[in-house]
């Protein structure tokens, strides 16, 4: 049976599933329940002390985006870091780590860009026996207005400087949590590495307004008739997170930098995708807030079964396996040809594929008088839109044309590769050998 034990920057946990720094990790009661449910680690909700007191709103803190079936796709939150006294949090962390020595316990920290402030809080946190610290450079609301959170994460020089201070004044492993609210995620990751950080975690929440109350004419959640932008998380942000993780994993400047993947992890499959793109473990928040802590049990059993099926005996064998296959667009094989194929036995004749293709794509699907839908190979460009809009999984597939066949759309013979071309036929500026 696959071993899910994870060693992430020297921090051992029985599985790669950690709870992210967020409301579920705000106090001892929650964290104990999480460990009892099976979570491998916890990043304690962000601690801070320097600066004005933290006071959270007493009205709604969350807004939401739903799918057609009211499945929660994304949460927007306007909650700040912990408003509980630092000393209370530290005492609770010390007790939890004493009782659960085999679980990872990470302290998330946020103070101003001041070396003395970081040195002081690090010294107090080390006494808890925690396994490491995560520097919160990602929070996009509230704290960023005080020059912390994403206000730091958006300036690579600050990221590197604070990482350096933390390595200078502490022996604990340092994880830098990155903000996605930036043009190029690679820059702060590079700065974190140059500053001596042991790892990065990403993504933190995305700046957002999820909805507007059209009676009050104010963003939601609404506090006394007004609203503010918040941080967006949940399944909807997963594609953005996966891309940013992959960008760091395949960048030569950050190659080998350990990554903790965050952003919409809801199932074991989500976790496996993050890990295949280079994440050594994953952090979860919205899924736990939606379904409760016991969702980790499904994640554990699912990942274990998948690894057994693949013949993997350790998590390390999964980490990064997809990274070599993430390339720039110019490196894609433009001689790879597929065509859509509709399985008539599965088709329910709803016509979604026809409407989508006829109105917005390439008019490559025909509809007979008795509503039988077929693909016109000479018009199909294999855009995959019909596959995506079809309500029956597997009903429409993309079938590859074998080498030697004639593409009915272009009249050209499908070749295995462009070995004999001097230049790429679909892009004259690109050499085929690139």
Catalytic residues: 139
CA dist list (Å): 421 to 425, 426, 432: 8, 11, 6
3-state SS string for 314-339? EHHHCCCCCHHHCCCHHHCCCCCCEE
For residue 99, the cross-strand partners are none
Question: Quick one: tokens of 430?
Answer: 């690109």
The helix or strand, by DSSP H or E, that contains position 311, with its residue range, turns out to be: none
Spatial CA neighbour of 263 closest among 382, 177, 383, 165? 177
Strand 199-202 relative to strand 259-262: parallel, antiparallel, unpaired?
parallel
The helix or strand, by DSSP H or E, that contains position 351, with its residue range, turns out to be: none
Peptide bond into 203 cis (omega under 30): yes
The torsion angle over the Cα atoms of residues 63, 68, 72 and 73, rounded to 10 degrees, is: -90
Burial of 333 (0-12, 13-18, 19+ CB in 10 A): exposed
Q: How far apart are CA 102 and CA 90, in angstroms?
A: 19
Query: Quick check: 78 and 221 in contact, CB under 8 A?
Result: yes
Q: What are the start-end ranges of the H helices in 195-311?
A: 238-250, 268-276, 286-291, 295-310
């Amino acid at each position: 049976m696959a071993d899910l034990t994870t060693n992430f920057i020297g921090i051992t946990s029985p599985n790669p599933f950690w709870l992210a720094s967020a409301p579920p990790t705000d106090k001892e009661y929650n964290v104990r329940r999480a460990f009892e449910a099976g979570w491998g680690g916890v990043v304690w909700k962000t601690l801070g002390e320097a600066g004005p007191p933290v006071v959270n709103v007493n009205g709604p803190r969350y807004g939401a985006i739903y799918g057609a079936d009211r499945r929660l796709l994304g949460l927007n939150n306007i909650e700040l870091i912990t408003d509980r006294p630092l000393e209370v949090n530290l005492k609770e962390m010390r007790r939890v780590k004493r009782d659960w020595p085999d679980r990872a316990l990470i302290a998330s920290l946020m103070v101003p860009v001041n070396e003395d402030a970081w040195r002081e809080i690090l010294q107090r946190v080390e006494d808890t026996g925690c396994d490491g610290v995560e520097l919160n450079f990602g929070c996009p609301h509230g704290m960023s207005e005080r020059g912390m959170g994403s206000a730091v994460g958006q300036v690579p020089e600050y990221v590197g400087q604070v990482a350096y201070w933390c390595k200078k004044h502490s022996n604990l492993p340092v994880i830098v949590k990155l903000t996605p609210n930036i043009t190029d995620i690679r820059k702060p990751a590079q700065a974190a590495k140059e500053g001596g950080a042991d790892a990065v975690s990403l993504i933190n929440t995305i700046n957002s307004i999820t909805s507007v109350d059209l009676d009050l004419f104010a963003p939601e959640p609404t506090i006394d008739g007004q609203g503010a932008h918040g941080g967006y998380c949940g399944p909807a942000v997963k594609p953005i997170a996966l891309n940013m993780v992959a960008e760091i994993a395949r960048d030569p400047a950050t190659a080998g930098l350990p990554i903790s993947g965050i952003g919409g992890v809801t199932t074991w499959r989500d976790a496996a995708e993050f890990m295949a793109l280079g994440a050594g473990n994953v952090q979860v928040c919205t899924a736990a807030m939606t379904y409760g802590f016991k969702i980790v049990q499904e994640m554990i059993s699912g990942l274990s079964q998948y690894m057994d099926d693949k013949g993997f005996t350790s998590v390390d064998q999964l980490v990064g396996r997809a990274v070599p296959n993430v390339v720039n667009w110019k490196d894609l094989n433009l001689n790879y040809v597929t065509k859509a194929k509709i399985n008539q036995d599965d088709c329910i004749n709803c016509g979604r594929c026809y409407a989508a293709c006829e109105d917005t794509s390439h008019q490559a699907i025909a509809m007979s008088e008795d509503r039988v839908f077929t693909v016109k190979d000479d018009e199909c460009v294999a855009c995959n839109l019909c596959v995506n809009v079809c309500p029956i999984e597997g009903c429409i597939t993309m079938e590859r044309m074998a080498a030697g066949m004639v593409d009915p759309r272009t009249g050209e013979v499908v070749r295995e590769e462009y070995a004999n071309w001097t230049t790429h036929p679909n892009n004259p500026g690109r050499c085929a050998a690139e």
